[in-house]
Structure 1
Amino acid sequence: MAESSGSQLYGTQSDAYAATHDLHHRAGSKERMPIGGEEVSVDDADELLAAMGYKPELVRTRSTLQVAFMSFVLASIPYGLSTTFYYPLVGGGPANIIWGFVGVSLIILCVAISLGEITSVFPTAGGVYYQTWMLANPAYRHIASWICGWSFVVGNITITLAVNFGTTLFLVGCLNVFGGEDGILEGNRWQVYLLFLAITLLCNAVSALGNKWLPWLDTFAIFWTFAGVIAIVICTLAIAKNGRNDASYVFGEFNPSLSGWPAGWSFCIGLLQAAYVTSSTGMIISMCEEVRHPSTQVPKAMVYTILLNLACGCLFLIPLLFVMPDQEFLANLASGQPLPPIIYNAVGHAGGTFALTIPLLVLGILCGIACTTAASRCTWAFARDGAIPGAQWWKTVNARLDVPLNAMMLSMAVQLLLGLIYFGSSAAFNAFSGVGVICLTLSYACPIAVSVLGGRKLIAEGSYNFGAFGLVANVIALAWSLLAIPLFCMPTAIPVTAELMNYASVVFAGFFVIATTWYFVWGKKHYQGPPTHEVAEFQAARRASITSEVVPK
């Protein structure tokens, strides 16, 4: 791009921040203002959105608690920890499970703080992609925002796929507590895929047709989660039919021999469980245009939810480790789902075990619905700026349903196609969860990195600024990103076979090739990024309007 264009863009960035800063400090007012040549009535949150160059298209219905509840459901800690229990179990056992979760949660708290600071200044459904564009130097903002946007979209879609596929595998494991060692469901790959298809269609149907009820569904999920966790904890510890492990085993047992990796690397591989359940941290940003006061509500939801998840996760994991049977027995399960056998070992009754897993299965469905919703919003937002092939189709909002239905169907189609990988590898879930974590981690790192490179100047006046500690959080978040991206491309155990290969790197590379090719074929010439050219016009109109009200005629 020519240098003159770069200078113009840099001015636009300053104008965007000035307008956003002005609107933050004048929140609460309502007035009619020209945006893009037409008169529209907007509230304070929609004024912010308009200053960032977008016309409000979605209805703002979520309160502070409701956006926090959705953030909690996106993580669905007890469910997510259940479906990925295998990875730290093989990586090292109890110590890997509990301390890995605590350690990663504290790291992700730094990621949440970092993203919260930025989101308080730039609250839009474009999320980290838009933020990267606004914070990056004009010399590289095009490619930086392009990479971030594609990573965010792919991460949202593959995490949603991993959630629905994980629910499928977990359901098979729960059903097979009946019928002894052989179970009642063979779990053939076509059976698993059909169950996955049904769950995916259900989640998309609820998200599309019941949009106005989703905040209440998230509220229900909070009470359902804690009721289910309490029931599991009380029943397993009280009955403990085969006895209990001692505290030294629960908090100190570390056995990496099952993975074949060296001890330190084996522990790191086991962190996939914790990284998976906390990877949804930034997905809630995609809901900014449906939140009443996104500049404050969304950052608070991201940070506080991490603390709530940490408490809920420890409450769930520690009792299970006290009643957990032999580590090698669980690692060799054909289903790859250790939780149902752990509960069965404690209560000694198939019917009771299945009853205790019902709350987790329901939570898995609710998590799938929340992830489907978030994935559709970020896909729609990225298409809105013309970055996805066929953008004119995917940027359309269905006025009757008040959802970006076409973008939701695109996301679902990609998930169903990727699900076919399971017919070639039983380790497909590892690929889905791994690539989701990798892509989301990369997308979160982009705005944090460019913010740090810019001296954190544009977030200094945000409504959620942590000051010096914010910089510390930024550094920790970026260091985690550098570790997580190569880490979760690794297979869980060695030696590696084609059947057990971690195909996360293959899926990630495939999307990266598609995105890069599309950029050089079309994006480099035509991709203009977010419509920030309207910000200066908006700010001038706003100042003119204020002046006309103050100066007497």
Structure 2
Amino acid sequence: MSSKEKYDGGHKPSYEDRRNSTAEDELAALGYTQELTRTRSTLNVAFMSFVLASVPYGLSTTLYYPLVGGGATTVIWGWCLVSALMLCVAASLGEITSAYPLAGGVYYQSYMVSPPSYRKIMSWINGWSFTLGNVIITLSVNFGTTLLLLGCINIFKDAEGNGIFLSAPYQTWLIFLAITLITNMISSLGNRWLAMLDTITVVFTFLGVFAIIICGHAIAAEGRRNAAWVFGGFEVSSGWSPPGWAFCVGLLHAAYATSATGMVISMCEECVDPARQVPKALVGALGLNWLCGFIFLVPLSFLLPDIATVVNDPSAQPLPVILRSAIGNEGGAFALTVPIIILGILCGTSCVTASSRCVWAFARDGAIPGWQKLGIASVNEKLGIPLNAMMASMVVQILLGLISIGSTAAFNAFNGAGVIFLTLSYVTPVAISFFNGRNKLTHAKWHLGAFGWFCNAVSIAYCAFAIPLFSMPAGLPVSSVSMNYASVVFVAGIVATTVWYLVAGRKYYNGPAGGNIDDDVFP
């Protein structure tokens, strides 16, 4: 009997049916038909999650925050602290995903764990938070790669000491456009090889990190810091006080690098056994990310030149400046940044892949306007991917990128808001489940037991703290240019989606397709 016959016919699936079901049966039980090809193993998913974070790349592009928020101490211990907190988030997401493993991810989960009185609106708001977060974070990664590339090029100076390519805003956007097209092309045309590419990227990442560490310490042209300064020195130059709060603002560095953790949930319908694979991959990738970040950040901190020199560089990209100081010449420093630039492109490719599945899944449930006319909920049979959803997401990113030509501050607001949207989307189903006694997780195939209460509580507390933290400017005093407007975009987005639901969405959005499944199937 096929999964469709089994679940759409007269037979109602019992809890025992679901325990012994295949991934296709499970998807049918959740209310959907299998359209994507299941080829990814646990390691494939873990490696993709690792590439989504792309720790050396993510930590390089945001290194400014901890350097002004305390120096090497904030860099290292901030990374360890946030990694431990995000491990609880990953475990909590893994547990709830093992109960509801499909591409819709957190918005489907929010619906299923919510009481009937408000499950539709919670699913709607969380769905838009997750979708906006996916699209904007993909934009942020590709634009971040653009800025890193420009910063690395400007390691080379002219006779006046200026970078050799001080790009105009429109030139920066054109480079961003090229990188965006490249990442979408790799993701769409190379879908069958993406899992292998992720595996290669993991090896490539560690090789690139080791190259930076070994070359930097072998030469150390300007000497090395001592261990007491690296692990215990604390120098705040951001203007924030007291020092403890300066340290907290510096955590933005690690929080940004781990913000894409849950995006891999959108790949559930391409995993062989998502209810077991995705939870293991989420937690395993977090551990691998922490290890890679620790191996990268500690040796790099020993090579730090004068912090003021690093943070005041016009490129606003600390890594090229640090490597130029350590290697002693521009050519060698640039060569060591090449692996990080490539990693940024590969990270963007993984983000494109995950965000396209997210947009596709949300459109499949009828939540995105024009989804039928634009075919956003369709799967391209030749490529085996939701191509129209990918293209729709790409167009939105390119248009948002145009904002950078007119106002850097306005564009940066969207970058920061993407992380906030994702953070809210992660914690929503976890918080609803927690405050309702976790009674919808009894059938989870990766159940945390009593430890789940602890992980959920830590996740809720961390996300509640992180959301306002992401709205903080990097330093004081604040000007119209340096102000962080992420909160404005975030609040506007939440208000707009809520009003939209009350005015129109509630009339045509009936919740996820599987939302009418009885509670005896999902006890």
Range with greater deviation from structure 2 (507-516 or 157-166): 507-516
Question: Is the contact made by 1:94 and 1:253 (CA closer than 8 Å) also made in structure 2?
Answer: yes
| 1:493-552: CA deviation from partner (whole Å, max 9, x where unpaired) | 12211111212122223322331232122112221001226645997xxxxxxxxxxxxx
Shift of 1:20: 7.4
> Equivalent residue for 1:57?
35
Shift of 1:410: 1.6
- String of CA shifts for 1:30-65, please: whole Å, max 9, x gaps: xxxxxxxxxxxxxx1011000010111111111111
**Maintained 8 Å contact 1:259/1:492:** no
Match of 1:454 in 2: 436
Corresponding residue SS for 2:115: coil
Match of 1:79 among 57, 77, 91: 57
**1:435 Cα deviation from its structure 2 partner:** 1.2
Instruction: Name the CA distance, whole Å, in 1 between partners of 2:13 and 2:55.
Output: 38
Rounded to whole Å, the distance in 2 between the matches of 1:20 and 1:233 is 55
Render the CA deviation track for 1:98-131: whole Å, top value 9, x for unaligned.
1111100000000001011111111000000001
Q: Is this contact kept in 2: 1:491–1:500, CA < 8 A?
A: yes
Task: State whether structure 2 residue 470 is matched by structure 1 residue 495.
Answer: no
Q: How much has 1:311 moved relative to structure 2?
A: 0.7
Q: Who is 1:8 aligned against?
A: none
Distance 1:257 1:20 in 2: 60
For the aligned residue pairs, the C-alpha RMSD in angstroms reads: 1.8
Aligned partner (choices 3, 25, 33) of residue 19 of structure 2: 25
* CA distance in 2: counterparts of 1:399 and 1:297, whole angstroms: 25
Question: CA shift at 1:390, angstroms?
Answer: 1.2
1:464 alignment counterpart: 446
Partner of 2:70: 92
Partners in 1 of 2:411 and 2:328 — Cα distance? 29
Aligned to 1:517: 499
Q: Which residue of 2 aligns with 1:227?
A: 207
Give me the whole-angstrom Cα distance separating, in 2, the residues matched to 1:447 and 1:537.
17
1:68 aligns with 2:62: no
Match 1:284 to one of 264, 283, 297: 264
1:213 aligns with 193
Amino acid at match of 2:16: D
Cα deviation, residue 84, structure 1: 0.7
Of 85, 89, 92, which residue of structure 2 is paired with 1:111? Answer: 89
* Shift of residue 430, structure 1, vs aligned partner: 4.3
Q: Distance in 2 between matches of 1:397 and 1:517?
A: 31
Instruction: Tell me what 1:33 maps to.
Output: none
Q: Rg: which structure is higher?
A: 1
- State whether structure 2 residue 133 is matched by structure 1 residue 155: yes
1:389 Cα deviation after fit: 1.2
**Conserved 8 A contact 1:157-1:415:** yes
Kindly provide the CA deviation profile for residues 321-355 of structure 1, in whole angstroms up to 9, marking residues without a partner as x: 00101111111111110101101101112111111
Q: Give 1:135's aligned residue.
A: 113
Deviation at 1:413, TM superposition (A): 1.6
1:54-105 CA distance string (max 9 Å, x none): 1111111111111111011001001100011111112221111111111000
8 A Cα contact 1:21 1:462, kept in partner: no
Following the alignment from structure 1 to structure 2, what is the Cα–Cα distance between the partners of residues 406 and 321? 44
Taking a change above 3 Å as real, the CA distance of residues 357 and 20 of structure 1, as seen in their structure-2 partners, is farther
Is the CA contact 1:161–1:419 (under 8 Å) kept in the aligned structure 2?
yes
Alignment of structure 1 residues 121-520 onto 2, 5 Å: 121-179=99-157, 181-392=161-372, 393=374, 394-427=376-409, 430-520=412-502
The structural deviation recorded for 1:425 is 3.5
**Separation in structure 1 between the aligned mates of residue 475 and residue 368 of structure 2, nearest angstrom:** 36
| Contact 2:238/2:246, CA 8 A, preserved across alignment | no
Distance 1:476 1:264 in 2: 20
How high is the TM-score relative to the length of structure 1? 0.89
SS of residue paired to 2:108: helix
Where 2:488 maps in the other structure, the secondary structure is: helix
* Cα distance between partner residues in 2 of 1:432 and 1:86: 19
Tell me the matched-pair count: 506
Secondary structure of 1:382's match? helix
Range with bigger deviation, 70-79 or 397-406? 397-406
State the SS of the aligned residue for 2:513.
coil
| Residues 1:63 and 1:50: Cα distance change in structure 2 (over 3 Å) | same
Q: Alpha-carbon deviation of 1:21?
A: 3.6
- 1:48 corresponds, among 14, 26, 39, to 26
Contact 2:403/2:411 (<8 A) preserved: no
SS in 2 for 1:532: helix
Q: Give the superposition deviation at 1:273.
A: 1.1
Paired residue secondary structure (2:260)? helix
The answer (yes or no) to whether the contact 1:20–1:51 under 8 Å persists in 2 is no
Output one character per residue of 1:8-42: Cα deviation in whole Å (capped at 9) or x when no partner: xxxxxxxxxx9474344213xxxxxxxxxxxxxxx
What 5-or-longer segments of structure 1 have no aligned partner? 1-17, 28-43, 540-553
CA shift, 1:424, in A, is 3.6
Q: Is the 8 A contact 1:20 1:52 kept in 2?
A: no
TM-score normalized by the length of structure 2: 0.94
Higher alpha-carbon deviation: 44-53 or 507-516:
507-516
The alpha carbon displacement at 1:361 in A equals 0.6
Letter in 1 for 2:340: L
Does the CA contact (< 8 Å) of 1:60 and 1:292 recur in 2? yes
Query: Take 1:524 and 1:423, find their aligned partners in 2: how far apart are those partners?
Result: 37
Q: What does residue 35 of structure 1 align with?
A: none
**Contact residue 14 and residue 520 of structure 2 kept, 8 A:** no
1:197-237 Cα distance to aligned partner (Å, 9 max, x none): 11011111111111111111111101100110111111111
> Which residue identity is paired with 2:166?
E
Residues 429/101 of structure 1: CA separation in 2 closer, same or farther (3 Å cut): farther
Query: What does the per-residue CA deviation read over 1:448-503, in whole Å, with 9 as the maximum and x for residues that have no partner?
Result: 01111221122133221111111101000000111111111121112211111212
Alpha carbons 1:20, 1:121 under 8 Å: kept: no
